[in-house]
C-alpha cells in the first residue's frame, strides 16, 4: 500500500498558493497535510508548523532548547517547493496497511489519530 498527498490546508492562511508573508523571512503558520491511501477516498490530517529560522529565533530566543519534530523550516515561502518536498517524502512510504504508513507519516506531522484508542 502507498500513500497519496490529497491536499494542503491551513487554518492560518486562507490561500496557500497565493500567500505572501507580511515579512518574507519571519513567519510561521500551521499546515495541515491531508494524506490518504493512494487511489482511494478518504484522508487524514498530519499537522506541522511551517516556519523560518528568524521566526524560531523570535519565538524562542537564543537560550531556548527546542526539538524540531513537526516543524518544516524554510528560508522563504514557496508553496510549490513545500508541496513538492512533501509529495516526495510521502511517495517514499510503502507498507502493508494504512496504519503502518500513518505511523511513518506521523514523523513528519502530528497525526490526528496519534494515540487514538477505541
Identify the pLDDT of residue 81: 97
One DSSP character per residue, 61-103 reads -SS-----TTEEE-SS--HHHHHHHHHHHHHT-B-SSHHHHHH
Confidence grade of residue 117 (pLDDT, cut at 50, 70, 90): low
Would the pTM count as exceeding 0.75?
yes
- For 3-26, b where at least 16 C-beta lie within 10 A, e where not — what string? bebbebebeebeebeeeebeeeeb
Whether the CB-CB separation of 13 and 29 falls below 8 Å is answered with yes
Q: What pLDDT band is residue 41 in, cutting at 50, 70 and 90?
A: very high
The residue to which cell 500567500 is assigned = 19
Stretch among 14-28, 36-50, 62-76 having the lowest mean pLDDT: 62-76
Domain boundaries, the chain: 3-111
Amino acid at each position: 500500500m502507498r500513500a497519496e498527498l490529497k491536499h494542503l490546508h491551513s487554518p492560518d492562511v486562507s490561500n496557500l498558493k497565493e500567500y505572501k508573508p507580511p515579512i518574507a523571512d519571519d513567519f510561521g503558520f500551521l499546515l495541515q497535510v491531508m494524506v490518504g491511501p493512494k487511489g482511494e477516498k478518504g484522508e487524514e490530517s498530519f499537522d506541522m508548523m511551517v516556519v523560518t529560522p528568524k521566526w524560531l529565533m523570535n519565538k524562542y530566543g537564543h537560550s531556548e532548547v527546542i526539538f524540531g519534530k513537526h516543524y518544516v523550516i524554510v528560508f522563504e515561502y514557496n508553496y510549490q517547493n513545500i508541496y513538492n518536498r512533501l509529495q516526495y517524502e510521502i511517495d517514499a512510504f510503502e507498507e502493508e496497511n494504512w496504519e503502518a504508513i500513518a505511523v511513518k507519516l506521523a514523523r513528519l506531522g502530528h497525526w490526528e489519530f496519534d494515540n487514538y484508542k477505541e
